[in-house]
A = this chain, B = another copy of it.
Amino acid sequence: MKVPEEIVELIKREEYFTIVSHLNPEGDALGASIALALALKLRHKDVQVFNSDGVPYMYNFLPSSELVESGIDRERLKYSTLFVVDCNDLERVGLKDPECKSVVVIDHHRTITDLGHIRWIEPESPAAGLMIYNLIKELEVNINREIAVNLYTAITVDTGTFRYENTTPEVLRVAAELVDAGVNPGEVSRRLYESWSVNKFRLFVSMLKTVEIVHTGNINSAIATINLDMFKETGADASDTENFINFPRMIDSVDISAIFREFEAGCWKASLRSKGNCDVSLIALHFGGGGHKNAAGYKVRGDIGDVRRGLVEAIQDSLSSR
């Protein structure tokens, strides 16, 4: 990975920086932004970090997470360099018509806009955090524990803690260096994966009890329900259901994982996930929803029995005959 010389030069030259990342930020957006801010501060720069949604509760553990502000100083922005990190679209940032000195995009998503006077986009990079790591190296800033924890979190979140296909030898070597710099990998993982509330766990068990595996043609679907009663009984809420959809996927033979979540009486939000070539966006479209090939969703109203049967029929119609 080659860090553009012009970014390094610009940082050396300028004094005021504003770092922004996307709405609903996760570990990569936050960790990469904060690590960059800390490095710039060590170079005596004036830095503001902005995220429209602020820092979600589960990421409060990131050192210097209090740097992230959910309001932006537009006067200050006028004479600042704007770093757009982990996205390349101001709509995803939630920032309209910013007036600033110049815009630098640092992202690892496939480019969709032409935002940025300087655009550094590495679709092959597993995480924006890995790009920031390389940038900090070029800036000759010492990676202290605070920076290391932010970079480690960024990298682990976007590689599923080294479980995804994008886990390269470079990622593992950088991780080793960050642990040398003071990261406690067990502690970071605890924060990321072992911070469920008891209520969330109870809802999880209730949801798993409803999993039914349905065979339609050559497709196996695991279908689950979370109704309003289950929320009431467990004390959990909708935000607790994030990630639940990944669990039925653990079953080898399951091609599609679906959860129906009741958001008001008789109204259901269907989340669909699939493996490999199974395109669930076709099914979501059928019900007026949308999404991508392996992750899609739709809303539907009715008796849960009918709603589940409707999904199975749609799977049969659109996929089983492939």
> 1/0 per residue A89-127: CB within 8 Å of B?
000000000000000000000000000000000000000
Question: Across the interface, do A196 and B250 meet the contact criterion of CB distance under 8 Å?
Answer: yes
Chain A at the B interface: mostly helix, strand, loop or mixed? helix
> 1/0 per residue A159-189: CB within 8 Å of B?
0111111111110110111011000111101
How many whole Å from A132's CB to the nearest CB in chain B? 19
Tell me if A3 is interfacial: C-beta within 8 Å of chain B. no
How many whole Å from A230's CB to the nearest CB in chain B? 14
Copies in the complex: 2
Q: Using A194-B250, A194-B251, A198-B253 as known contacts, say yes or no to A186 and B168 having CB atoms under 8 A apart.
A: no
Q: Using A168-B179, A169-B177, A208-B205 as known contacts, say yes or no to A197 and B163 having CB atoms under 8 A apart.
A: no
How many whole Å from A183's CB to the nearest CB in chain B? 9
A residues contacting the other copy or chain, number (CB 8 A): 45
**Alpha-carbon distance A175/B168, docked complex (angstroms):** 10
> 1/0 per residue A242-257: CB within 8 Å of B?
0000001111110000
**Alpha-carbon distance A166/B179, docked complex (angstroms):** 11
Task: Give which listed residue, B162, B173, B186, B189, contacts A173 with CB less than 8 A.
Answer: B173
